[in-house]
Amino acid sequence: MPLNTIARLSCLVACVRAAAAAALFGTTEIDLVFPRNDTFAPMPLLPVVFAVQNPPVSKMLWPRLEYGVGPLGHANLSADFHDFDDLTDMPSNDTSAYFVYTGVADRVNTEGNWEFWWRFRAMNCSILHPSGHSPQGPVPFSRP
């Protein structure tokens, strides 16, 4: 095999390995898919859907996603607390979006203004306990 061909093949192998490493050690993102304001009709079960981008990276952080629903302005005080336990079961080799979903039953099937709140917790080598500051935010919505 000519030296020129060997150099090209070596370069190709290096590029493939670099692309695989970038996918594995890249960034991860967690998006709230549902609920959104005015996106559903009154029903006894409120669907909750999050999308995890690049699950292998997120899985390495031992993620914990917590959420709740309650009256607008008092969600953290009066909401039932829930979390996704299946985040550690995310696929280790799939870099596409992974959807986690559940439902909150009999909580917002009455008229009023409600708030969905969420918090994401993760650990790594520099964090001993995941109880510190975590990304979180409320999503207000109304039930006509």
Percentage of residues in the chain having pLDDT higher than 90:
0
Q: Are 37 and 140 in contact (CB under 8 A)?
A: yes
Strand pairing partners for 115? 70, 140
- Alpha-carbon distance of 99 to 87, in angstroms, equals 10
C-alpha count within 13 angstroms, C-beta hemisphere, residue 144: 5
Fold designation for 27-143: Immunoglobulin-like (2.60.40)
Q: What is the DSSP string of 20-78?
A: HHHHHSS--EEEEEE--TT-S---SEEEEEEEEESHHHHHTT--EEEEEEEETT-HHHH
Taking residues 59-68, report their average pLDDT: 77
Other C-beta atoms closer than 10 Å to the C-beta of 101 total: 13
Out of 20-24, 63-67, 119-123, give the one with best mean pLDDT.
63-67
pTM as predicted: 0.62
Write out pLDDT tens, residues 8-40. 555 555 444 544 544 556 777 777 888 776 656
pLDDT of res. 83? 66
pLDDT of res. 10? 56
Q: Which two tokens stand for residue 6?
A: 């060997």
